[in-house]
Amino acid sequence: MIQNVTIIGIGLIGGSFALALKEKNIAKNIIGVDNNEENIEKAKTLGLINEALTLEEAIQKSNLIFVAIPVDATISVMAKIMPLITKNQIVVDAGSTKFDLCKMVKQYKNGNRFVATHPMWGTEHSGPQAAVNGAFEGKACVICNKENSAKDALETIENIYKKLGMHLVYMNAEAHDVHAAYISHISHITSFALANTVLQKEKEDDAIFELASGGFESTVRLAKSNAAMWVPIFKQNKENVLDVLNEHIVQLRKFKSCLEKENYEYLYELIDDANKIKRIIK
Amino acid sequence: MIQNVTIIGIGLIGGSFALALKEKNIAKNIIGVDNNEENIEKAKTLGLINEALTLEEAIQKSNLIFVAIPVDATISVMAKIMPLITKNQIVVDAGSTKFDLCKMVKQYKNGNRFVATHPMWGTEHSGPQAAVNGAFEGKACVICNKENSAKDALETIENIYKKLGMHLVYMNAEAHDVHAAYISHISHITSFALANTVLQKEKEDDAIFELASGGFESTVRLAKSNAAMWVPIFKQNKENVLDVLNEHIVQLRKFKSCLEKENYEYLYELIDDANKIKRIIK
């Protein structure tokens, strides 16, 4: 059992992590740090945290610091955290991009107290009230550049995620960011763009959403995700996201061309190809 | 209670409709017609139908005929059904496109025995084993060109769908096909294209799917839908689907341009705009 765990950013991920730490008896005292006073109050009311402290107070008191804020803020907060960290403390993040962060943390004297992780879970909601029990159960957690982390720090974090029911996947930060672009970032862009496509049409036609059915809801669900989280991700992972977005537009153009040329045989093939996704998702 | 109902195409929609008719005590005897002998056997085993007949036998015996097959097959089967229909029978379809079908049926002497409907429910699965209890509950059902249907036929169908828990939406066939392109057909194209984008990458990189998370699954779920159903839909609704697809590519290009020009303020705006979808889907 860890005595004091600080969670920086007590929203969807931080809040769900707090719930999991309590449920699995991993942490005794959970300290919340959040710029947003309202979030702190909600987190207390919801029982996510035991106390709230300033960043400096929290770092001094904590054995483990978990950072779950937008990826641009992570970079600047980490610049405050890392110089204060001793060899007995561990810092871990949960961000959706890893390359810039790992490069930056490596420069610090006690940089090996940091473990770079990406628990692959999230919803389109945000804030402490979005926190969910058992959120990470059965999901993948990526650990990046593990050779840069101290052995004991890495093992502690591995054990926590395992207790949460996650299976661990190891890769370097660069590979992570490429994969995340394909598996997560592009899905968000297509959802945002699809929402905008339909909302554009709605301006001239009120009735359009009367027909919205399950298929529409599932493809457009992620479009409810917030800009404050996603703009920094797209910014940090710009090159990879652009590569995938270009490829995606190429794939969409194939459908367009089939229709324009009335080449239904090739359209059939494209759909058959897409069906191969069954192999991967249940 | 209706004595004899024929279901042509005893798959996902036809099978779920059969289950609903039985559950709500709407039909006494359900007759299955399907080209696929295996589907007929499964439908019998699953208790979806009471008996199987040929198309001609089934039409002669039935008070109500429900057509739930791919939209191209609907056109050709309807050409066999309509000349045989008497003034005491009712024909209804469940297809995803309506314009061509309504135009075609109108030419028949007893064309007013046909009611054009589109129950807005489906999954990415197919076949009788995909049939689901309570599938239509709480969903919308579009009824097209109701002025072309006989009053008693229309009322019978309205009552059935209401008993199934559906709310009815009325529009002309042309408007339906435009709306369906926005709300359903484009979602399928983006899912197919997204699946192909990622599967393309996977060829060089096995590990990519280890990270697949909930967001990816929900945007790509529809990519499991089968070509035999969807190619005819895209074909019949080609002009509308192309319009929406072009608009969608324009929207995606805005995201691309934001990233290329590092215009993160505008990217923020685009995402904020997309968030307005919250108004429409829960």
The pLDDT tens digits of the residues spanning B238-271 come to 999 999 999 999 999 999 999 999 999 999 999 9
Residue A12 has pLDDT above 90, yes or no: yes
Cβ–Cβ gap B220/A281 under 8 Å? yes
Chains A, B: CB contacts within 8 A come to 299
Close Cβ partners of A115 (under 8 Å, ≥ 6 residues apart): A90, A91, A92, A143, A146, A149, A153, A154, A157
pLDDT digits (tens, 9 = 90+) for B190-206: 999 999 999 988 777 76
Given a cut of 80, whether residue A282 has pLDDT beyond it is no
pLDDT (0 to 100) of residue B120 = 92
Please give the residue of chain B at the shortest CA–CA distance from A208.
B179
Question: Is the confidence at residue B282, as pLDDT, over 90?
Answer: no
Domain with CATH 1.10.3660.10 in chain B: 176-279
Tell me the pLDDT of chain B averaged across its residues: 95
CA distance A53 to chain B (A): 31
Q: What is the pTM of this model?
A: 0.91
A277/B253 touch (CB, cutoff 8 Å), yes or no: no
Q: Cβ–Cβ of B216/A281 closer than 8 Å?
A: yes
We find that the CATH architecture of domain A2-171 is 3-Layer(aba) Sandwich (3.40)
Task: Considering chain A, tell me which residue range(s) the CATH 3.40.50.720 domain(s) occupy.
Answer: 2-171
Question: Does residue B214 surpass a pLDDT of 90?
Answer: no
pLDDT tens readout for residues B134-166: 999 999 999 999 999 999 999 999 999 999 999
pLDDT in tens, B111-123: 999 999 999 998 8
Residue A184 touches partner B, C-beta closer than 8 Å: yes
What pLDDT is attached to residue B260?
98
Residues 6+ apart with CB under 8 A from B240: B177, B178, B180, B181, B185
Closest CA to B148 of B97, B82, B102: B102
Which of A136, A186, A189, A272 is most worth mutating to test chain B (most B CB atoms within 10 A of its CB)?
A189
Asked if A244 has any chain B CB less than 8 Å from its own CB, the reply is yes
CATH C-level class of A176-279: mainly alpha
Q: What integer pLDDT is reported at residue B130 of this predicted model?
A: 96
What would the mean pLDDT of A217-240 be, rounded to a whole number?
94
Percent of chain B with pLDDT over 90: 90
**Residue in A171, A189, A280 closest to B209 by CB:** A280
Residues in chain A within 8 Å Cβ distance of B217: 281
User: How large a percentage of chain A has pLDDT more than 70?
Assistant: 99
Give the mean pLDDT of A182-210.
87
> Phi and psi of A31, rounded to 5°?
-105, 130
A:206-225 residues touching chain B, CB 8 A cutoff:
207-225
Pure H helices in chain A? 12-23, 37-45, 55-61, 71-81, 99-105, 151-163, 173-180, 186-202, 214-220, 227-236, 238-260, 264-275
What are the residues facing B173 on neighbouring strands? none
Q: Check residue A196 and give its pLDDT.
A: 96
Mean pLDDT of A31-37: 97
Q: Does B60 contact chain A (CB < 8 Å)?
A: no
Chain B residues closer than 8 Å to A199 by CB: 273-274, 276-277
- Check whether B172 has a pLDDT greater than 90: yes
The answer to whether residue A151 scores a pLDDT higher than 80 is yes
Query: pLDDT tens, A249-263?
Result: 999 999 999 999 999
B212, A280: Cβ pair inside 8 Å? yes
What band does B233 get if pLDDT is binned at 50, 70 and 90? very high
- Average pLDDT for B225-244: 97
What pLDDT shows up at residue A279?
A: 84
Query: In this predicted structure, what is the pLDDT of residue B215?
Result: 78
Rounded to the nearest angstrom, the minimum Cα separation between A51 and chain B is 32
Does any CB of chain A come closer than 8 Å to the CB of residue B262?
A: yes
Q: Mutate which of A121, A251, A270 to disrupt the B interface (most B C-beta within 10 Å)?
A: A251
Whether residue B98 is predicted with pLDDT greater than 90 in this model: the reply is yes
How confident is the model at residue A204, as a pLDDT? 73
